[in-house]
Amino acid sequence: MSGPWSGRRILLVIGLGILGLVLAAGAALLKLAQLSYESLKATRAQNERAVVHDLRALLAARRPDSPLPSEAVEASGYKRRLHVGDTAGRFAYVAVPLDPLASGRSSFCADASGLLRFSLEGGEPELVDGACPASWLVLSDDVPAPSW
């Protein structure tokens, strides 16, 4: 067949059609992945804002002994726990992400100093006498929780 629709031309048209379908499917998958990632980022940011709000309220009340249980509590994608220091009046309230990839990336710590500290690494802090690690960054009142 030597006309306009020879075997080679037909194969070329079919091949280009398949290539077009593969590229369109790839673009759709990339868009879906982007939307999923944006949703994950929004969830993490929302969880971190909730933790920061709770810890700021705790510091404002200055009464960690009243409503806070000493056992771990899970809320908003974070495990929260009160640690009482050996010295009277010393405490640290720690919030660590349950799943650092999904629920939040930063860990937070509030203590009797009145400071709210955070670590971008998302791990459990090493507390000394109910005090947050001085090496952690201070989150000031006019700064929102870190967002990713």
Residue 112 covered by a domain: yes
For the domain that residue 61 is a member of, what is the CATH number?
Answer: 3.30.540
Angle made by CA atoms 66, 68, 71, in degrees to the nearest 5 = 135
Angle made by CA atoms 124, 113, 117, in degrees to the nearest 5 = 40
The model's pLDDT over 98-148, given as tens digits with 9 standing for 90+, comes to 998 888 889 999 999 989 999 988 788 999 998 999 999 998 765 555 554
Residue 11 covered by a domain: no
CA dist., res. 143 & res. 133, Å (int): 19
Strands (E), the chain: 73-75, 78-84, 91-97, 107-111, 116-119, 137-138
The model's pTM is 0.69
CA dist., res. 93 & res. 75, Å (int): 14
Please say if the pLDDT value at position 1 is more than 60: no
Dihedral of the CA atoms 76, 32, 148, 114 (nearest 10)? -10
Q: Are 146 and 48 in contact (CB under 8 A)?
A: yes
Count of structural domains, the chain: 1
Q: What is the pLDDT of residue 148?
A: 45
Residue 14 covered by a domain: no
Residue 23 covered by a domain: no
The model's pLDDT over 17-67, given as tens digits with 9 standing for 90+, comes to 898 888 888 888 888 777 777 877 888 888 888 888 888 888 887 655 555
Residue 26 covered by a domain: no
Q: What is the pLDDT of residue 145?
A: 53
Domain residues for 113?
Answer: 34-138
Residue 114 covered by a domain: yes
pLDDT-derived band at 79, boundaries 50, 70, 90: very high
Residue 28 covered by a domain: no
Number of neighbours of residue 17 by Cβ within 10 angstroms: 10
